[in-house]
Amino acid sequence: MTNTLSRLLKSRDWLLADGATGTNLFNMGLSSGEPPEMWNVEHPDRIAKLYGFAVEAGSDLFLTNSFGGNAARLKLHNAQGRVRELNRIAAEIGRNVADKAGRPVAVCGSVGPTGEIFAPMGTLTHELAVEIFHEQAEGLKEGGADVLWVETISAPEEYKAAAEAARLAGMDWCGTMSFDTAGRTMMGVTSAQMSALVEKLPNPPLAFGANCGVGAADLMRTLMGFVATGTERPLIAKGNAGIPKYHDGHIHYDGTPELMGDYACLARDAGATIIGGCCGTMPVHLKAMHEALSTRPRGPRPSLEEITAKLGAFSSASDGTGDDDGAGRERRGRRRG
């Protein structure tokens, strides 16, 4: 265990992760439809600036600009031959920023979903998914990423494939799923099911949890679901800065810095160790989160009522855990009505 993230996890009881990648890059001029990973070579200064936002706000780790940097996603832009290069450079820029921070900051190599659907509904196989993730992992490793950071996953098969790719690359990893469909992932996974899945992996992650999804309140409820399973693994909470609203032709997140400060402390008090933002989380939010975590004393584990009082209502009546078909079965491809 020599990577920076493992050392930080041993010495600290909370760590601040970073905020949004997409939202911040759009604010720097990225157009929708343009693959953000191309900016690693076209605008390395802007990517260094993005990473710098997190470091300046007090983050202990940040994710690299490589979320869509796998062959399946880059193929949509005819850049499937550049996986290794784009990921290596994403991590190299990060390494450079982290090494100048003057304190330990972990460079976490972002690995997002392939965008493909597993057989039999789709064409993706375990072997192919492992190969896709492994190629990306090798690029991130080559560029100096401390760990791999698998995020926004909805299919358990894809999570397992990413775990195996991390093993093949010889890297420690973290992995989060996105619970955006009435408390479950798009593929029907509940927080309890994810917890069980993680413990069954031959190479479990250093930390696991949830990112993105609907809003900070929903993410808190998912986090409470992980805690309820009794897991002793560090938990990750990376919630969006409020709820996306369409406004004047672009998406705006309604979460204020104050709300994200409250969310950060609630997440810590509920049992999360790694706390950050996702979509809509700007430097101003991150600074408020750092300030809140650094100055407010730890409190008791919040109730669901306290969460909605501070962060707003949940998007659905339940988080899907414990109702109807129980926690043991996975409901693949079924959205809850």
Q: Binding site: which residues?
A: 212, 278-279
CB 83 to Zn ion: min, Å? 22
Is 274 one of the binding residues for Zn ion (CB under 5 A)?
A: no
Q: Cβ(129)–Cβ(161) under 8 Å?
A: yes
The span from the CA of 135 to the CA of 72, in Å, is 11
Nearest to 274 by CA among 151, 154, 112, 138: 151
Q: Which residue has the tokens 């007090």?
A: 58
Q: Which residue has the tokens 């949004």?
A: 20
Is 17 one of the binding residues for Zn ion (CB under 5 A)?
A: no
Closer to Zn ion by Cβ: residue 165 or 278: 278
Closer to Zn ion by Cβ: residue 137 or 279: 279
Cis peptide before 120 (omega within 30 of 0): yes
Element (DSSP H or E) covering residue 249: none
What residues numbered 202-221 form the site for Zn ion, per CB under 5 A?
Answer: 212
Tokens representing 144 are 């100096």
- Span near Zn ion by CB under 5 A; candidates 61-69, 141-149, 271-279, 307-315: 271-279
Is 161 one of the binding residues for Zn ion (CB under 5 A)?
A: no
CB 268 to Zn ion: min, Å? 20
Is 278 one of the binding residues for Zn ion (CB under 5 A)?
A: yes
The residues pairing with 276 across neighbouring beta strands, listed in sequence order, are 238
CB 240 to Zn ion: min, Å? 5
Question: In the chain, which residue ranges form alpha helices assigned H by DSSP?
Answer: 4-11, 22-27, 39-42, 44-57, 71-74, 83-99, 126-142, 156-169, 191-200, 216-228, 257-270, 283-295, 304-311
Mark the binding-site residues for Zn(2+), compressed into ranges.
212, 278-279
CB 203 to Zn ion: min, Å? 26
What residues numbered 111-140 form the site for Zn ion, per CB under 5 A?
Answer: none
Closer to Zn ion by Cβ: residue 17 or 130: 17
Interface size with Zn ion, residues (CB under 5 A): 3
Closer to Zn ion by Cβ: residue 138 or 151: 151
Closer to Zn ion by Cβ: residue 279 or 293: 279
CB 263 to Zn ion: min, Å? 14
The span from the CA of 111 to the CA of 169, in Å, is 13
Is 279 one of the binding residues for Zn ion (CB under 5 A)?
A: yes
CB 30 to Zn ion: min, Å? 15
56 backbone dihedrals φ, ψ, rounded to 5°: -65, -30
Q: Which residues bind to Zn ion, rule: CB under 5 A? A: 212, 278-279
